[in-house]
Chain A
Amino acid sequence: MSLGTHHGGQGGGVRTDVGEIVAVADRVRGAIETVIEGKPEVLRIALTVLLAEGHLLVEDVPGVGKTMLAKALGRAVDCSVQRIQFTPDLLPSDITGVNVYHQDRREFEFNPGPVFANIVLGDEINRASPKTQAALLECMEERQVSTDGQSRTLERPFMVVATQNPSDMEGTYTLPEAQRDRFMARVSVGYPAPQAELDMIDAHSAHSPLDGLAPVTDAAHVRDLADRVRSVHVAPGMRRYVVDLVNSTRTSPELRLGASPRATLHLVRAARAYAALDGRHYVVPDDIQALAVPVLAHRLLPSPEAGMERLSAEQIVAKLVSRLPVPGPQ
């Protein structure tokens, strides 16, 4: 009876075939769970962002498995994975690649940087200088790399999983609002449950669990699934619901900065993927309610009043959601 255990499969007519998405997603989830245990909701958001072709920001204190999550995701899907360790001295060209002059051939040749991959793991993105952050973020938004006047398109699926330490940690450059807005969702991994931590000790003592992780799908398949997710039905009432929700963040006195129109698009795309992962070919309010905090909260700035009441953006979004009536019968 709990949320998501029933897959609505009744009815007929033309519709997205979501059965395969569920099957693939279950396989990927199963694979990753051999590495990271006890975090099904985080995994679900990560898969949602993958299928919705967005980028994921994983924010938490060091050592809780942020990088492990990203690596496991890249390993479970058989595709190219690149890892960039952001440091204060990292240059933009270290990410995008450089043109190298070949003396013998007397021409420049482009040496693609680590961003040319299906899944790019940006570790501790807030340690890099703003200039370097901006270079990555341009790639994320445009899905192409421009060097010396030439644009090179990045291959689909393209997903940046960036990890960042909370902003008050030492030696960090906080991502500005405009750049946080490029990430479709933000999740916190959080500390594992005691039992999961016990299991972890056993699993990690012998060898790295990543070694045993075999790919369960490939990039072409993911691309195909992402195409199908785009056709998940969003009823007019549901679109209105999303717009109302985003609007309420703009008018709420507790927020200094509301969500952008990009947030609206991200929320709808994520909701489609989330519904498909649940085996539905249409979006329901529950999808939006589950995604509102991960998709919206990192884009918002609480007002000073809300700050004094120690209200976080997550709490404010949850409150807004709990006040908005779901769309009724048309």
Chain B
Amino acid sequence: MKTYLIRLIVILVCSVGLHSTAMSREIVITTPGKQAIPLALTHVLPYDTKHLEVEKTVDDVLSADLDLSGLFELVDPAAFLDDARQIGVTSTQVNFSQWRLLGAQVLIKGAYRISGGQVELDLRLYDVISRRLLAGHNYRGQLSDLRRMAHSFADLIMKTLTGKGGAFNTRIAFVSDKSGHKELYLMESDGFDAKRITNHRSIVLNPDFSPLGREVIFTSYRQGNPDLFRKEIYTGREARISRQKGLNVSSRYRRDGRELALTLSRDGNAEIYLIGLDGQLHKRVTNAWGIDVDPSWSPIGDQVVFVSNRQGNPHLFIADLIDGHVRRLTYAGKYNATPAWSPDGEQIVFSRLENGSFNLFSITPDGKEERQLTFGTGNKEHPRWSPDGRFIVYSNDISGKKAIYVMRADGSGSRQISTLDADCSHPAWSSGW
């Protein structure tokens, strides 16, 4: 009995001691020393013949994409040591000590070879701290595909480091009057290589990509009435899918691509409807005396946010497609327009007219949290989300002409991406190439 008692006491005392020591050795880090990951981006190096254009293109695309992400701080190339001049497509070929000395935590290296008009590009992402390969890819294609290869690797970097892929290897559709008429254009996600894809010689408006990014729908006045058109990007084939009397505008694909929400005024008043891809009417969503426009689907597809002046000034409302209930979302401001629901369903971005100019705001679908994303003069309108939900593309006329801008979802890092010397507006971001 005594021995049991002694053992029990010893165990209890020890457990008390261990417990107290464990508790005393807990520390809390509340302040990160750096607010971006130091990344070293080296020039891609030739396996045999040097092509400066290849090196510059890959470097330009990767550095612009990674800078826009806001996750990285590029290490100054002027500080690079001799390992930057060594091909390092395997981790054994990399002198990680040099990169650690420069404070880099992540390293990008690459090499290329050109033969017969074909380019072979090896790109690698290394973790400098653990000295291991995080991601790598061997790309082969035409020289004209070089930018896409670099965009694709930027997406792979995002996927590797964050668990969610990027949206760099995508395209943005927009409307421009560069040709003298408002036509539809396509460009890369960084604004490069803008090309006109319609020739309606009238007014084209409100493009939206199909979920797979192979088709685009838009409104055109080509035949006098604002009708809805669908266009296959690769074949160029086009079809008018809705020609209801009056407006056929602001159409949006549902996430599964099987149904469209749009504004029709077939009964004299602008209301929100759901139609099939063949233009057949499925459902009338709203039925109020005011004008209802600019629908945007929730990610699940069970709700639609839209603009209505049914209670006076234009405000955002959300319609439940299952029970038909409509609730008001915004109360602040006197003119709220062009809402876009984020891919993760957490935010709705929209433009608001205040002090004579439009600025962008975001609001949670429950209406509790509202944030202003852009400030100052210049009208920022028609915001749309990137497919990964990290960025917002919009139009801005601060320089006199409307141009396409892109920024991070929190409003930081805004920059102009369109380069056409003409008005550019109504952007839409594709989900893929």
A, B assembled together: no
Interface residues of B (CB under 8 A from A): none
